């Protein structure tokens, strides 16, 4: 992480506000934060769907393309899902993100709603650190032709759908055969996503500064199929050998139905997303809080 000091002038002149839809308290917090930012001399850009769903004026609201062209910072009021959505939309524009937690766990939303104005004020005063987070691209090839492509910050998952039967996958890394897998599915996670679905499937926690990926089988038929940490330069090629009802998920979103013979090619995306952390942020303190480490027995 790269720290900023109070002697450095904040470059956040145009601030985009993105809110989790239909969540109690978001509309009032958006209005409060908007007024605060204007008092501090910042321009405020409201994301269009946020305005529509929170009952706010849409006349001056912007879509993600416009926000990407104009914003110096995006503040996301919501949970990790809201941060993931904003990251996928804004990564290619280089707009940094900071999260105000209005969800539950909030591994990526550092600021408590109750402390929102104080912490955002610190950011505007130059008291923050920045951190680069890697993303993944996933392409589906059917009979050798690309039929779908997506971007993910947390993970790309190939798994069974509603059917109870296991999927059978053949996995190659950088053109080398790794294993045949019979399982409920397979997770390819970034360090950011190592605390999400991969963690619940017994994958390792990876510090965000690590340059790597993790390959995590989901309930494998053979218990010797264990998670594997890979280089961030690795290209994964996953072929569906047998799959009655398989699907591709990214960042927890079901997105594309797969059929036998499909190949899913996953690799690190060419761009990253910048997370902005308020003064005093610690990754390890976040883990202790969210995972309830060091609690008295």
Task: Centre a 10 Å sphere on the Cβ of residue 270 and count the other Cβ atoms it contains.
Answer: 9
Q: Which residues pair with 111 in a beta bridge?
A: 100
- Give kind and range of the element (H or E) at residue 121: helix 116-124
Angle at 261 between CA 169 and CA 255, to 5 degrees: 80
Whose CA is closest to 171, among 101, 107, 240, 124?
Answer: 240
Q: What are phi and psi of 176, to 5 degrees?
A: -100, 135
CB 152 within 8 A of CB 136: yes
- Residue 232 and residue 270: Cα distance in Å, rounded? 11
- The residues annotated with a catalytic role in the active site are 80
Which token pair is 59? 């006349």
Q: What is the DSSP letter of 25?
A: T
Pairing of strands 236-242, 167-173: antiparallel
């Amino acid at each position: 992480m790269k720290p900023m000091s109070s002697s450095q002038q904040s470059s956040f002149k145009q601030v985009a506000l993105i809110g989790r839809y239909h969540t109690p308290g978001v509309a009032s917090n958006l209005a409060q934060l908007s007024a605060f930012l204007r008092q501090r001399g910042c321009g405020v850009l409201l994301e269009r769907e946020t305005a529509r769903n929170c009952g706010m004026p849409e006349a001056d609201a912007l879509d993600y393309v416009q926000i990407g062209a104009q914003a110096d910072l995006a503040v996301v009021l919501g949970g990790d899902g809201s941060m993931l959505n904003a990251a996928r939309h804004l990564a290619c524009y280089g707009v940094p993100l900071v999260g105000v937690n209005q969800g539950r766990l909030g591994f990526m939303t550092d600021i408590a709603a109750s402390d929102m104005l104080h912490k955002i004020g610190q950011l505007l005063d130059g008291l923050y650190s920045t951190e680069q987070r890697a993303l993944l691209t996933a392409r589906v090839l059917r009979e050798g032709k690309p039929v779908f492509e997506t971007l993910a910050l947390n993970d790309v998952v190939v798994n069974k759908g509603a059917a109870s039967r296991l999927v059978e996958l053949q996995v190659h890394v950088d053109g080398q055969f790794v294993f045949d897998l019979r399982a409920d599915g397979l997770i390819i996670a970034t360090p950011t996503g190592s605390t999400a679905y991969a963690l619940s499937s017994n994958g390792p926690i990876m510090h965000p500064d690590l340059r790597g990926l993790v390959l995590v089988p989901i309930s494998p038929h053979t218990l010797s199929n264990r998670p594997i940490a890979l280089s961030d330069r690795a290209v994964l090629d996953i072929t569906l050998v047998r799959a009655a009802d398989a699907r591709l998920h990214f960042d927890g979103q079901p997105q594309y139905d797969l059929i036998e013979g499909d190949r899913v090619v996953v690799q690190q995306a060419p761009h990253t997303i910048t997370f902005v952390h308020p003064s005093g942020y610690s990754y390890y303190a976040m883990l202790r809080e969210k995972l309830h480490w060091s609690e008295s027995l």
